[in-house]
Amino acid sequence: MTPEMFDSVEAYNAAHPASPFPAEHHRRSVLRGYRAAMRGVTDDVTGTGSGASLTVDFLPGGAPLPDEADRVGTVVASRWGEGPVFVLAENVSLRAAWQAVKEAWPTHLSGVRSALKELTGTDS
C-alpha cells in the first residue's frame, strides 16, 4: 500500500493541523528526525520512480529527546522538509516510533515502514 501523499508541506499541514511541519524552512531543517547518517532514506515505496533521498520526521516537534515528554503524532517522509510529504504512521508515540526506526537503521523507505509496522498495526 502506498502511503498517503500531500504535494506540499502546506497541503499536509492543512490536513494534519495537530501534527504540523513548521511553516519556516529553517525550523523544519532542525527537527530531530531520521536521515540515515545524513544520506537520506531511499524512496523505494511511493511509486514515483524517483529513488529520491528522503528524511523521516516525527511531528509535531521532532522526535522527543530523552529528557522530553513523549508526544503522540505523525511520522512522515519528505524531500528534506519539502513536498511531497508521505504519511507513514498516525497517532503513534513519537518516542516509540523514533526508537523503532533508530534500532532498525533502515536505508530505504520500505525499511522505515517495516520498523513502524508494529506501532501502526498494518502490513504496509
Distance CA 124, CA 113 (A): 7
How far CA 124 is from CA of 4, 21, 43, 99, in Å, comes to 11, 23, 15, 19
Contact 86, 77 (CB under 8 A): yes
Is the confidence at residue 20, as pLDDT, over 80? Answer: yes
Residue type, 43: D
Q: Is the pTM of this model over 0.75?
A: yes
CA-closest candidate to residue 116, choices 106, 52, 71, 35: 106
Residue 123 has pLDDT above 80, yes or no: no
Domain of 81 in residue numbering reads as 4-120
Domain count, the chain: 1
Chain-wide mean pLDDT for the chain?
90
